[in-house]
């Protein structure tokens, strides 16, 4: 199963302008599997989750991501996990995929193109994209973590879930931006 | 790079000289971070090489500024700890300056020597390695888990322990562990009762508390303690000839706190023991206030209470040297302070934690032993926030929280570990603690004032105290002990005995 996954390349189309035509989003893995979610008309939203093999907070959220991706898969939401660290070894990403029982495609952002484009800063950090090319939500998955080392016993805000429910109901996302607690993404200047 | 004339101020030098990894940052990281952030240790990623640190420079800067790392809780102003891991403001500024400068590596000729850590046990070859009985599966997610596990031991002779070192298997999930000596055999009975390795809670300590066991003997860091495994604390042998007593026939119990980490893990830890042949000249004596992890303090915190206070005090009967201090509580504890009021009125703050976090329950070793003369009053103060505003509150909405062994219950105590200055004073110190404990317990079970007179029990005035005239709370205890003829009533003679008992209790409490 992990064979599909992926290591690792993310291709993006040209800059997205406000237009009716969905932006191009191609996520390709080394096994040759190409994901072009917007070519499927049933897809109503895409969730890009920036993750890491060794950020404890990002890893803590893997079970939540798995549950959410399962819950929303049949409602037309495609989840992807992206490693923004271009130096992650494919073997490590595969091991991480197995250890955390990840069920969605994972890619390594070798050029940090996607990372830079959406201006991701943290792992974990999620972006909800819609077919009109907009980012309708960015930030945390929920508010379990309140700061470094401090966790609630249960979240009081389910930000990603609420954003997806709003999108699917054709409503405006009430809180479109939140701050995610986690590990800083290092951006390579090239 | 231009060399700045030495005459210029330090400030100018530090602001002009380029901060590089090889020159400035490697020593800082290797000294303060790498102990845990290296393969096999508790840190989630290594911080050794230039790339390790450069890639995580943003995260490191944030956790340094937040003072989440390196983990260190006490904020005492005037007392210094030997194992203090705090960085100075200047060190943090240095790191920020390096990030600001674009994380330069520096002169490739000056590559830092990578620190060399022992690859196996930190303390070298152990005298004995124990393996936890059974294995325990830690789920990928869910609430924190507190569970106790058994290391069967039952040595045929008494031993003196210089150090213990834990090697957990569930490295990502094990948050910390505390070790206890069980000489009651209770832990063996509890182990595996619910179908999984280990058992919940610390009920084996109850056996020692109520069955005449001595909760102050042979302990280190708590009642019958044997130290702990805390993230960020490197294992160390006790200084000098100090050692912990491990009585023959006892087992070791490890109470482990797991943070589910996102992936399933299996725990089957190994524990290394380091012995010494010689009994120490003087013993470490832990003074726990309030005793038994706060059990005697009747902790009972109403839902919504923002500032619940638990206090205890004890007067030292003999001069001692304090060597280390640490506290124990659960989620909703907020602050912990222990002060010593010396006979001359001087007050010293021995421990001051203003942002309690059960994740970091370290023991803090004084840089130099602190002399406390006889007559010094030790006071501990522990506060709790059981309001909805406390994000650490395990209940939403808040609930009444009482003392208990589950992590969602509360505990609270501060332990000051001391050495009596004069060897012959050790029994006096132990006696003072025992009587403090007895008083605390007596206060806890103390009948209301009017119930201290037996006559007031005889509500029907027939001269006998019938079963139903004894306050329900103490009925079993009182009748069990004083109704010698078993007629479910106390005659005059039995009443006189009871009155003697009540008088003794009263004198204990007013002493």
State which of B60-64, B391-395, B449-453, B479-483 shows the largest mean pLDDT. B60-64
Residue A32's pLDDT is 66
Give chain B positions within 8 Å (CB) of A62.
Answer: 140, 262-263
* pLDDT at A7 exceeding the cut of 70: no
Q: Which helix (H) or strand (E) holds B321?
A: strand B320-329
Over range A43-58, report the average pLDDT: 97
Residue B221's pLDDT is 32
Residues B44 and B143 in one domain: no
Joined together, the tokens standing for residue B280 give 């120490």
* pLDDT at B509 exceeding the cut of 90: no
Residue B66: band (very low, low, confident or very high) from pLDDT cuts 50, 70, 90:
very high
**Is B59 touching A (CB cutoff 8 A)?**
yes
- Number of inter-chain CB pairs under 8 A, A vs B: 73
Task: Answer yes or no: is B255 within a domain.
Answer: yes
Of A146, A147, A184, the CB nearest to B58: A184
Task: Answer yes or no: is B98 within a domain.
Answer: yes
Residue B224's pLDDT is 56
* pLDDT at A8 exceeding the cut of 60: no
Residue B448's pLDDT is 62
Q: Do A184 and B45 touch (CB under 8 A)?
A: no
Q: Which residues pair with B273 in a beta bridge?
A: B128, B164
Chain position carrying tokens 């902790």: B299
* pLDDT at B407 exceeding the cut of 90: no
Q: Which of B262, B264, B387, B391 to mutate to test the interface with A (most CBs of A within 10 A)?
A: B262
Comparing alpha-carbon positions, the chain B residue that sits nearest to A97 is B263
Give chain B positions within 8 Å (CB) of A60.
Answer: 141, 260-262
pLDDT of B260-273, one tens digit each? 889 999 999 999 99
- The alpha carbon dihedral of B48, B51, B54, B57 has a sign of negative
Asked if B34 and B41 count as a contact pair (C-beta separation under 8 A), the reply is: no
Q: Do A186 and B58 touch (CB under 8 A)?
A: yes
Residue B21 Cα, gap to closest chain A Cα (Å): 16
Q: Do B55 and A55 touch (CB under 8 A)?
A: no
Chain position carrying tokens 């003829």: B485
Q: Do B55 and A87 touch (CB under 8 A)?
A: yes
**Is B400 touching A (CB cutoff 8 A)?**
no
Domain C-terminal end among B110, B144, B169? B110
Residues B175 and B80 in one domain: no
Residues B196 and B297 in one domain: no
* pLDDT at A28 exceeding the cut of 80: no
Residue A10's pLDDT is 46
Over range B212-238, report the average pLDDT: 55
Residue B511's pLDDT is 52
* pLDDT at A2 exceeding the cut of 70: no
Q: Which of B59, B170, B408 to mutate to test the interface with A (most CBs of A within 10 A)?
A: B59
**Strands B244-246, B159-167: parallel, antiparallel or unpaired by DSSP?**
antiparallel
**Is A4 touching B (CB cutoff 8 A)?**
no
Domain total of chain B = 4
Task: Answer yes or no: is B5 within a domain.
Answer: no
Residue B472's pLDDT is 78
**Is A156 touching B (CB cutoff 8 A)?**
yes
Q: Which domain holds residue B490?
A: 447-510
Domain C-terminal end among B48, B79, B110? B110
Of A85, A154, A183, the CB nearest to B396: A154
Residues B424 and B458 in one domain: no
Of A100, A149, A189, the CB nearest to B263: A100
Mean pLDDT estimate for chain B = 85
Residue A96 Cα, gap to closest chain B Cα (Å): 9
Comparing alpha-carbon positions, the chain A residue that sits nearest to B262 is A60
**CA B138, chain centre distance (Å):** 23
Residue B478: band (very low, low, confident or very high) from pLDDT cuts 50, 70, 90:
confident
Residue B220's pLDDT is 30
* pLDDT at B203 exceeding the cut of 70: no
Residues B204 and B264 in one domain: yes
Over range A73-79, report the average pLDDT: 96
Residue that wins the pLDDT comparison between B229 and A45: A45
Task: Answer yes or no: is B3 within a domain.
Answer: no
pLDDT of B291-325, one tens digit each? 888 888 889 999 999 999 999 999 999 999 998 89
Residues B206 and B248 in one domain: yes
Structural domains of chain A in order of their starting residue, each with its CATH number = 2-13+22-184 (3.40.30.10)
Residue B12's pLDDT is 43
CATH code for position B467: 1.10.238.10
Task: Answer yes or no: is B409 within a domain.
Answer: yes
Q: Do B143 and A153 touch (CB under 8 A)?
A: yes
Comparing alpha-carbon positions, the chain A residue that sits nearest to B42 is A56
**Is B307 touching A (CB cutoff 8 A)?**
no
Q: Do A146 and B391 touch (CB under 8 A)?
A: yes
Give chain B positions within 8 Å (CB) of A189.
Answer: 102
Give chain B positions within 8 Å (CB) of A185.
Answer: 58
Over range A67-81, report the average pLDDT: 96
Residue B175's pLDDT is 82
CATH code for position B400: 2.60.120.230
DSSP chain A: -GGGT--EEEEE-SPP-S-SSPPPEEEEETTS-EE-GGGSTT--EEEEEE--SS-HHHHHTHHHHHHHHHHHHTTTEEEEEEE--TT--HHHHHHHHHHTT--S-EEE-TT-HHHHHHT--EESEEEEE-TTS-EEEEE-S-SSEEETTEE-SS-S--HHHHHHHHHHTT---SS-B-PPPSEEPPPP--
* pLDDT at B5 exceeding the cut of 70: no
pLDDT of B331-387, one tens digit each? 999 999 999 999 999 999 999 999 998 878 778 889 889 999 999 999 999 999 999
Residues B82 and B195 in one domain: no
Residue B341's pLDDT is 98
pLDDT of A145-181, one tens digit each? 999 988 898 899 999 999 999 999 999 999 999 999 9
Q: Which of A84, A89, A184 to mutate to test the interface with B (most CBs of B within 10 A)?
A: A184
* pLDDT at A14 exceeding the cut of 50: no
Give chain B positions within 8 Å (CB) of A186.
Answer: 54-58
* pLDDT at B214 exceeding the cut of 50: no
Residue A166 Cα, gap to closest chain B Cα (Å): 26
Give chain A positions within 8 Å (CB) of B102.
Answer: 189
Task: Answer yes or no: is B2 within a domain.
Answer: no
Residue B210's pLDDT is 31
Task: Answer yes or no: is B119 within a domain.
Answer: no
Asked if B216 and B434 count as a contact pair (C-beta separation under 8 A), the reply is: yes
Residue A190's pLDDT is 54
Residue that wins the pLDDT comparison between B171 and B343: B343
Task: Answer yes or no: is B100 within a domain.
Answer: yes
Residues B388 and B488 in one domain: no
Give chain B positions within 8 Å (CB) of A190.
Answer: none
pLDDT of A104-155, one tens digit each? 999 999 999 999 999 999 999 999 999 998 999 999 999 999 999 888 988 9
Residue B99's pLDDT is 96
Domain C-terminal end among B225, B257, B276? B276
Q: Do A100 and B392 touch (CB under 8 A)?
A: no
CATH code for position B195: 2.60.120
Of B58, B62, B391, the CB nearest to A150: B391
* pLDDT at B205 exceeding the cut of 80: no
Residue B204's pLDDT is 57
**In the sheet where B285-289 sits, what is the strand order?**
B285-289, B412-420, B320-329, B363-372
Over range A11-19, report the average pLDDT: 44
Over range A26-37, report the average pLDDT: 82
**Is A184 touching B (CB cutoff 8 A)?**
yes
Residue A112's pLDDT is 95
Looking at chain B, the whole-number percentage of residues with pLDDT higher than 90 is: 45
Residues B458 and B439 in one domain: no
Residues B380 and B426 in one domain: yes
Give chain B positions within 8 Å (CB) of A183.
Answer: 56, 59
Confidence (pTM)? 0.80
Residues B272 and B322 in one domain: no
Mean pLDDT estimate for chain A = 88
Residues B171 and B253 in one domain: yes
């Amino acid at each position: 199963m992990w064979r599909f996954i992926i290591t690792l390349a993310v291709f993006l189309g040209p800059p997205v302008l406000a237009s009716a035509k969905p932006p191009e989003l191609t996520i390709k893995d080394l096994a040759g599997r190409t994901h072009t979610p917007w070519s499927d008309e049933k897809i109503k939203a895409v969730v890009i989750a920036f993750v890491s093999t060794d950020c404890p907070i990002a890893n803590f959220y893997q079970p939540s991501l798995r549950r959410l991706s399962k819950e929303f898969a049949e409602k037309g939401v495609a989840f992807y996990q992206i490693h923004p660290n271009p130096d992650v070894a494919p073997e490590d990403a595969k091991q991480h995929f197995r250890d955390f029982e990840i069920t969605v495609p994972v890619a390594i952002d070798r050029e940090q193109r996607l990372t830079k484009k959406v201006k991701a800063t943290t792992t974990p950090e999620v972006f909800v994209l819609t077919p009109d090319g907009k980012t309708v939500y960015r930030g945390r998955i929920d508010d379990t973590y309140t700061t470094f080392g401090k966790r609630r016993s249960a979240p009081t805000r389910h930000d990603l879930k609420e954003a997806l429910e709003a999108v699917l109901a054709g409503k405006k996302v009430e809180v479109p931006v939140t701050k995610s607690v986690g590990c800083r993404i290092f951006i390579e200047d090239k | 790079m231009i060399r700045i004339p030495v005459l210029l101020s330090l400030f100018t030098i530090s602001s002009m000289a380029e901060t590089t990894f090889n020159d400035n940052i490697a020593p800082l990281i290797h000294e303060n971070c790498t102990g845990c952030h290296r393969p096999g240790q508790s840190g989630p990623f290594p911080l050794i090489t230039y790339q390790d640190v450069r890639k995580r420079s943003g995260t490191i800067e944030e956790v340094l500024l937040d003072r989440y790392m390196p983990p260190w809780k006490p904020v005492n102003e005037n007392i210094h700890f030997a194992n203090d891991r705090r960085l100075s403001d200047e060190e943090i500024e240095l790191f920020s300056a390096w990030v600001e400068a674009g994380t330069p590596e520096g002169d490739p000729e000056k590559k830092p020597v990578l620190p060399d850590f022992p690859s196996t046990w930190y303390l070298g070859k152990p005298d004995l390695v124990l393996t936890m009985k059974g294995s325990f599966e830690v789920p990928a997610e869910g609430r924190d888990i507190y569970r106790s596990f058994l290391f069967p031991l039952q040595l045929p002779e008494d031993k003196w322990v210089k150090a213990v070192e834990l090697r957990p298997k569930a490295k990502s999930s094990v948050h910390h562990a505390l070790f206890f000596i069980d000489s009651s055999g209770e832990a063996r009975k509890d182990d595996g009762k619910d179908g999984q390795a280990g058992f919940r809670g610390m009920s084996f300590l109850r056996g020692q508390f109520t069955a005449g066991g001595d909760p102050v003997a042979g302990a280190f860091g708590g009642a019958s303690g044997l130290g702990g495994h805390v993230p960020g604390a490197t294992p160390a042998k006790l200084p000098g000839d100090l050692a912990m007593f491990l009585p023959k026939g006892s087992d070791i119990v490890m109470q482990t706190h797991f943070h589910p980490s996102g992936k399933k893990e299996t725990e089957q830890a190994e524990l290394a023991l380091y012995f010494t042949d010689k009994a120490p000249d003087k013993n470490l004596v832990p003074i726990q206030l309030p005793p038994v992890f706060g059990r005697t303090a009747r902790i009972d915190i109403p839902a919504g209470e923002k500032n619940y206070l638990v206090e205890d005090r004890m007067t030292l009967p003999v001069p001692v040297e304090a060597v280390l201090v640490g506290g124990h509580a659960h989620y909703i504890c907020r602050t912990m302070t222990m002060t010593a009021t010396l006979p001359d009125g001087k007050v010293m703050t021995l421990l001051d934690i203003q942002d309690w976090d059960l994740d970091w329950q370290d023991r803090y070793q004084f840089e130099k032993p602190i002399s406390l003369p006889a007559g010094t009053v030790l006071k501990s103060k522990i506060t709790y926030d059981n309001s909805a505003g406390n994000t650490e509150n395990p209940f939403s909405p808040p609930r009444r929280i009482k003392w208990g062994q589950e992590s969602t219950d509360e505990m609270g105590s501060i332990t000051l570990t001391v050495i009596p200055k004069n060897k012959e004073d050790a029994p006096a110190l132990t006696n003072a603690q025992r009587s403090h404990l007895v008083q605390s317990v007596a206060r806890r079970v103390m009948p209301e004032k009017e119930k201290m007179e037996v006559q007031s029990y005889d509500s029907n005035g027939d001269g006998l105290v019938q079963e139903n005239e004894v306050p329900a709370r103490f009925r079993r205890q009182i009748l069990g002990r004083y109704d010698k003829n078993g007629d479910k009533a106390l005659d005059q003679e039995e009443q006189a005995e009871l009155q003697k008992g009540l008088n003794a209790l009263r004198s204990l409490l007013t002493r």
